[in-house]
């Protein structure tokens, strides 16, 4: 059975550094996801260059099916050599996994990855091998739905050294924290943020080392379809709604006119909430058979703003949205709960917007930008214009 392989990461820069010495690179090629976390020697610009070169080389070559030995040889030959230490050094962890949850995890000098399964956090079985004089650990992966792998740079284990802890955050403590803090419905990005956020607390908001957490999670497909605006030809309304409702998964309708059209075609009424959890966001509506009904442009614009923050690798805030306004509910559904998103974007001119600074082109631009951000989250996104 084919699953959705979810990935996401969060990074903290060492105190006083503008660039992070860790780097994450992800690429999808066919049914495989290749995700690389590299930690460059030292910190700042030099470390960032080492990590960026290493992650690009490994991710590109492994995704293309190049044997690991050749990848390591190319990496060693390509990295600049430190004049002080006489070595070119960047540690790495590579996850190469297909849509069935099968693949490999390769680790060189990074902390061992942690497997989250069934509410437990455990070490992975690793086999030691030597490639080009370098000791690399290889794990054969056979993951099941809701399994997650947590890959970290050594900044995680260093968290709290000389501050809240004498010797940093020891591995058993990290696993205990993950068992307590990670909920079954969390995305890979949410898992990375919750662990990185705890590291930031232990560092007392002044990280003593670059700190990165990369999450990889196997999920069942969870599609959501979003109806935004009626089609240009009013005669197409019935077929448009039929196709929208025929898709599997959850259904969202954005916009007052869209809500009326969908309700009419379904033979339902549109109800309206009188609650204003956020005064700047119009209240949600209710249509029997539709999972979420919201206002249009104002709500979508807020969701786009939330997506920019959600994607920031330096943002350690919780990735779940607890507020009950339309934008927060839609953000939770699209960012955290969904794996596949289908937009039905009608391009009819909305008479309700006459005299208002709202144009069809504005709506289209908002959807295009939101779709791009969802793709950056790793979602499978389709946009249909009518």
Q: Quick: pLDDT tens for 191-223.
A: 999 999 999 999 999 999 999 999 999 999 999
Higher pLDDT, 318 or 356: 318
- Among 195, 219, 243, give the residue marking a domain's end: 219
Contacts of 222 (CB under 8 A, 6+ apart): 4, 249, 250, 337, 338, 339, 340
Residues 186 and 264 in one domain: no
Looking at the fold, whether 166 and 199 belong to one and the same domain comes out as: yes
Task: Provide the domain count of the chain.
Answer: 2
Residue 386: partners with Cβ closer than 8 Å, 6 or more residues away? 231, 232, 236, 240, 344, 345, 346, 347
Residues 241, 359 within the same domain: yes
Average pLDDT over the chain, rounded to an integer: 90
What is the tens place of the pLDDT at every residue in 43-53?
889 889 889 98
Rounded Cα distance, 82 and 367, in Å: 46
Give percent of the chain with pLDDT exceeding 90: 72
The first and second tokens of residue 59, run together, are 């991710």
Residues facing residue 107 across a β-bridge: 93, 137
pLDDT at 357: 47
3-state secondary structure of 62: helix
How many degrees, rounded to 5, is the angle at CA 174 between CA 171 and CA 178? 140
CA distances from 85 to 40, 60, 154 (A): 14, 28, 20
Same domain, 358 and 265: yes
Instruction: Report phi then psi at 123, rounded to 5.
Output: -75, 155
CB 50 within 8 A of CB 20: no
Do 233 and 185 have their domain in common? no
User: If pLDDT is split at 50, 70 and 90, which confidence band does 361 have?
Assistant: confident
Structure-token pair, residue 74: 């190319």
Whether pTM exceeds 0.85: yes
Structural domain boundaries, residue 366 = 223-385
pLDDT average, residue stretch 170-184:
94
Residues 99 and 202 in one domain: yes
For residues 114-118, give the mean pLDDT. 97
Residue 352: pLDDT band with limits 50, 70, 90:
low
Are 129 and 136 a contacting pair, CB within 8 Å?
A: yes
Point out which residues pair with 198 in neighbouring strands: none
Q: Using alpha carbons only, what angle is made at residue 138 by residues 135 and 143, rounded to the nearest 5 degrees?
A: 160
Q: What is the mean pLDDT of residues 258-262?
A: 94
């Amino acid at each position: 059975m084919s699953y959705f392989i979810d990935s996401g990461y969060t990074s903290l820069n060492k105190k006083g550094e503008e660039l992070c010495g860790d780097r994450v690179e992800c690429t999808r090629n066919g049914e495989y996801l290749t995700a690389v976390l590299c930690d460059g020697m030292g910190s700042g610009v030099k470390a960032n260059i080492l990590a960026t070169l290493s992650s690009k080389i490994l991710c590109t070559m492994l995704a293309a099916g190049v044997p690991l030995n050749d990848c390591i040889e190319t990496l060693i030959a390509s990295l600049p050599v430190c004049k002080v230490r006489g070595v070119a050094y960047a540690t790495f962890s590579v996850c190469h996994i297909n849509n069935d949850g099968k693949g490999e995890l390769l680790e060189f000098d990074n902390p061992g990855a942690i497997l989250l399964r069934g509410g437990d956090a455990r070490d992975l079985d690793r086999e030691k091998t030597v490639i080009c004089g370098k000791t690399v650990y290889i794990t054969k992966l056979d993951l099941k739905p809701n399994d997650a792998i947590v890959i970290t740079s050594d900044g995680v284990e260093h968290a709290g050294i000389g501050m809240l802890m004498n010797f940093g955050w020891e591995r058993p403590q990290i696993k205990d924290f993950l068992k307590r803090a990670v909920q079954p419905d969390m995305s890979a990005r949410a898992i990375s943020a919750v662990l990185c956020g705890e590291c930031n607390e232990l560092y007392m908001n002044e990280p003593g080392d670059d700190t990165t957490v990369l999450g990889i999670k196997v999920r069942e497909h969870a599609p959501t379809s979003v109806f935004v605006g009626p089609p240009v030809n009013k005669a197409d309304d019935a077929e448009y709604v039929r196709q929208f409702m025929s898709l599997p998964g959850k259904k969202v309708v954005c916009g007052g006119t869209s809500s009326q059209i969908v309700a009419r075609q379904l033979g339902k009424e549109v109800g309206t909430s009188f609650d204003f959890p956020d005064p700047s966001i119009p209240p949600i509506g209710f249509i029997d058979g539709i999972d979420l009904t919201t206002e249009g442009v104002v709500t979508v614009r807020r969701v786009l703003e939330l997506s920019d923050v959600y994607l920031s690798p330096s943002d350690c805030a919780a990735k779940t949205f607890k507020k009950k306004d339309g934008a927060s509910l839609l953000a939770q559904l699209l960012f955290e709960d969904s794996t596949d998103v289908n937009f039905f974007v009608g391009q009819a001119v909305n008479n309700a917007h006459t005299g208002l600074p709202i144009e069809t082109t504005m709506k289209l631009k908002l959807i295009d930008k939101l779709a791009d951000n969802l793709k950056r989250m790793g979602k499978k996104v389709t946009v249909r214009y009518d």
